[in-house]
């Protein structure tokens, strides 16, 4: 992502610079919180639910990386489309086009690495005997076993019934 911002500076594309900085500041900590932490917890406690969270989040990251590799204009990343549109007749545009193409190849490499990583972790997941049914069972046990979730559900249900009852009393039919 840092190379993407630097490439935006070289190309003088302020959309790439601004969105690239935003992506850098958001995706770095969210990568840790959203996929590294569930993967760590899944391996530590052999949790099917955490594996499912990891697979869902990491698949979304893979799709985002593929979109970044494509480089749709205005998306804030230097991908293949942006790199190829940079090439013109001048020497500077050819140099900046080569730099942009290197950045696009970096995104492509990251997408390939994401695919390899998710397939390796999926193989490990399948070798543990875990399944979607086990993940659903863990989710149900954890959610229903949580006192705060039960209290929140009870409060919501109570308020819904009370508001319905009050509405019926206000609109009494004779």
The tens place of each residue's pLDDT in the chain, 174 residues long, gives 888 888 888 888 888 888 889 988 988 888 888 778 888 888 887 777 788 888 888 899 899 999 999 988 888 888 899 889 888 888 888 898 899 899 999 999 999 999 999 999 888 888 877 666 777 677 677 766 777 766 777 778 788 777 777 776 666 555
* Close Cβ partners of 41 (under 8 Å, ≥ 6 residues apart): 47, 50
165-to-152, 173, 174 alpha-carbon distances in Å: 20, 14, 17
Alpha helices in the chain (DSSP H): 2-11, 14-31, 37-45, 48-70, 80-86, 91-127, 132-144, 147-170
How far apart are alpha carbons 2 and 4 in whole angstroms?
A: 5
How far apart are alpha carbons 7 and 24 in whole angstroms?
A: 14
- The DSSP 8-state label assigned to residue 78 in this structure reads -
| Closest by CA position to 86, among listed 22, 13, 4, 21 | 13
């Amino acid at each position: 992502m840092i190379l993407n911002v630097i490439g935006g500076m070289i190309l003088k594309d302020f959309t790439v610079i601004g969105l690239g900085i935003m992506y850098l500041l958001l995706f770095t900590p969210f990568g840790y919180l959203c996929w590294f932490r569930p993967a760590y917890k899944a391996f530590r406690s052999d949790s099917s639910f955490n594996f499912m969270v990891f697979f869902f989040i990491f698949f979304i990251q893979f799709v985002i990386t593929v979109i970044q590799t494509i480089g749709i204009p205005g998306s804030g990343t230097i991908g293949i489309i942006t790199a190829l549109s940079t090439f013109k007749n001048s020497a500077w545009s050819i140099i900046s086009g080569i730099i942009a193409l290197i950045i696009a190849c970096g995104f492509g490499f990251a997408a390939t690495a994401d695919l390899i990583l998710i397939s390796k972790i999926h193989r490990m997941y399948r070798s543990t005997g875990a399944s979607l049914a086990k993940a659903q069972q863990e989710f149900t046990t954890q959610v229903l076993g949580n006192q705060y979730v039960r209290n929140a559900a009870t409060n919501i249900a109570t308020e819904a019934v009370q508001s319905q009852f009050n509405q019926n009393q206000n609109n009494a039919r004779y």
